[in-house]
Amino acid sequence: MQLFFLKDMKNKRFLKRYMAYGAALALMACSGAKTTDNAEAGVATVLPDESNEVTVQVLEKKVFEHELVSNGKLVAGRQADLSFETGGTLAAVHVKNGERVQAGQVIAELDKFRLSNQVAQTKDALEQARLELQDVLIGQGYAADAKDVPADVMRLARVRSGYDQAEAQYELAKYEEEHASLKAPFDGVVANLFAKPYNEAVASEAFCTVVGTDGMEADFTVLESELPLIKTGDKVVVTPYADAAAQYVGRISQINPLVDDEGMVKVKAVVDGKGRLFSGMNVRVSVHRSLGEQLVVPKSALVLRSGKQVVFTLKDGKAQWNYVQTGLENAESYSITDGLKEGDTVIVTGNVNLAHESPVTVVDTEDDL
């Protein structure tokens, strides 16, 4: 009886071990299947079976225009604050703010009664002084209309008769009468005009401003390190923030030869505003300069892989991974200094998810870069 019991215990232990071993085998089989599935999924992510659709361009040298972008402010090339030579009552104001005027056009007028009266009075005084001058000359033994009076005698006679003083007062009265009409000094737009007729105008106080609109200037700054990239005469494109669709072309006219404490240099460009730009506008300034023929790729052709610049090229229906070095850039493209050669077929679009030797299908070919 005891022997049978021992055999039975051994059989149970064997059965338990067998069942445990079977469970382990089943678990390992499941784990292996999942690992294989995950590995295959990872490979499929990197190298998809289906071909990617891309567009390509043949790399060739072309003239590259470097673009330097800065913020600036417009300033009128010609701007004048106008004022009357003498005070008086405003008789008429012929224009309003924002109105265009031409050189010589009357902007406003003072009441001229007092000024005309003063001209008449000083003219009479001048005639009287002329008679006094003739009397002095006659007293010196010369004829009233003598042409041979010595210069020192004539000078003394003009002083004694008060002729010089009377002549100066008459000229001043005529000048004030003529300038009682305020005129535009050049073609432009009226600004800062707030006076109204029948009110007093104060002498020498700014009455209005005329802003020339044809010759606008864009004031902007560049970094000290960017100075070698610009020069006087370089093309600029000015875009007002008030109208992002509008562009105005100009040229750099001045580069201030001083660097400020922040490492910036002031630059001025003359811009053809076509009469649609206003002084004080905030603008975006793009400086364009031709740097000769270089290998150039569109910005869409360049992608980042592990923090490095990569451009894919096409070879035998597959994408080829190329590390590149870029030089300068503009709004649309980069210049390539290393990593590609002329004649390479560059993948321009459809390259975001590409890997090395990924199969690709060309759906379009651009004419040039």
Judge if 223 and 308 occupy the same domain. Answer: no
Residue predicted with more confidence, 272 or 5: 272
19 pLDDT tier (thresholds 50, 70, 90):
low
In a domain, 218, yes or no: yes
Count Cβ atoms below 10 Å from residue 64 Cβ, excluding itself: 22
pLDDT at 103: 92
Q: How many domains does the chain have?
A: 3
In a domain, 5, yes or no: no
Judge if 151 and 237 occupy the same domain. Answer: no
In a domain, 179, yes or no: yes
Reported as a single tens digit per residue, the pLDDT across 153-174 is 888 888 888 999 999 999 999 9
3 pLDDT tier (thresholds 50, 70, 90):
very low
Judge if 281 and 299 occupy the same domain. Answer: no
pLDDT at 319: 92
Helix (H) or strand (E) holding 95: none
Residue that the structure tokens 């020498």 belong to? 204
291 pLDDT tier (thresholds 50, 70, 90):
confident
What angle do the packed helices 163-178 and 113-139 form, to 10 degrees?
160
In a domain, 45, yes or no: no
Q: What is the CATH number of the domain that holds 325?
A: 2.40.420.20
146 pLDDT tier (thresholds 50, 70, 90):
low
pLDDT at 30: 45
Which of 292, 316, 351 marks a domain boundary? 292
pLDDT at 271: 93
Judge if 305 and 288 occupy the same domain. Answer: no
Q: Is residue 257 over pLDDT 90?
A: yes
**Two structure tokens written together for 63:** 């003239």
Domain holding 340, by residue range, is: 52-62+293-365
Q: Is residue 364 over pLDDT 80?
A: no
pLDDT at 269: 95
Judge if 233 and 177 occupy the same domain. Answer: no
Judge if 342 and 332 occupy the same domain. Answer: yes
Which of 211, 226, 242 marks a domain boundary? 211
Mean pLDDT, residues 252-273 taken together: 93
Mean pLDDT, residues 110-122 taken together: 91
Judge if 194 and 274 occupy the same domain. Answer: no
In a domain, 9, yes or no: no
Q: Is residue 256 over pLDDT 90?
A: yes
Q: Is residue 208 over pLDDT 90?
A: yes
Q: Is residue 35 over pLDDT 60?
A: no
Reported as a single tens digit per residue, the pLDDT across 293-310 is 889 999 999 999 888 999
b/e map of 244-279 (b: 16 or more CB within 10 Å)? eeeebebebbebeeeeeeeebbbbbbbbebeeebbb
Judge if 287 and 298 occupy the same domain. Answer: no
Angle in degrees, CA 178, 183, 189, rounded to 5: 170
Q: What is the CATH number of the domain that holds 127?
A: 2.40.50.100
**Two structure tokens written together for 84:** 């009357």
Reported as a single tens digit per residue, the pLDDT across 69-85 is 899 999 998 899 999 98
In a domain, 178, yes or no: yes
In a domain, 263, yes or no: yes
Judge if 85 and 185 occupy the same domain. Answer: yes
Supply φ then ψ for residue 297, to 5 degrees. Answer: -125, 150
Quote the CA–CA distance of 39 and 137 in Å, as a whole number. Answer: 124
Helix (H) or strand (E) holding 314: strand 308-315
pLDDT at 332: 85
pTM over 0.75: no
Sign of CA dihedral 66, 68, 74, 76: negative
Quote the CA–CA distance of 333 and 27 in Å, as a whole number. Answer: 56
Judge if 106 and 149 occupy the same domain. Answer: yes
- The mean-pLDDT minimum among 30-39, 105-114, 356-365 falls in 30-39
Q: Is residue 4 over pLDDT 70?
A: no
> Taking all residues of the chain, what is their mean pLDDT, rounded to a whole number?
83
Q: What is the CATH number of the domain that holds 271?
A: 2.40.30.170
Quote the CA–CA distance of 313 and 11 in Å, as a whole number. Answer: 70
Quote the CA–CA distance of 111 and 132 in Å, as a whole number. Answer: 34
What is the percent of the chain with per-residue pLDDT over 90, rounded to a whole number?
A: 47
Judge if 262 and 306 occupy the same domain. Answer: no
* Cβ atoms of 224 and 267 closer than 8 Å: no
Quote the CA–CA distance of 248 and 331 in Å, as a whole number. Answer: 17
In a domain, 7, yes or no: no
* Cβ atoms of 220 and 70 closer than 8 Å: yes
**Two structure tokens written together for 171:** 């000229």
Q: Is residue 86 over pLDDT 80?
A: yes
Mean pLDDT, residues 124-149 taken together: 84
Count Cβ atoms below 10 Å from residue 283 Cβ, excluding itself: 25
pLDDT at 369: 45
Judge if 122 and 181 occupy the same domain. Answer: yes
Which of 187, 211, 235 marks a domain boundary? 211
- Most confident by average pLDDT, 4-13, 142-151, 354-363: 354-363
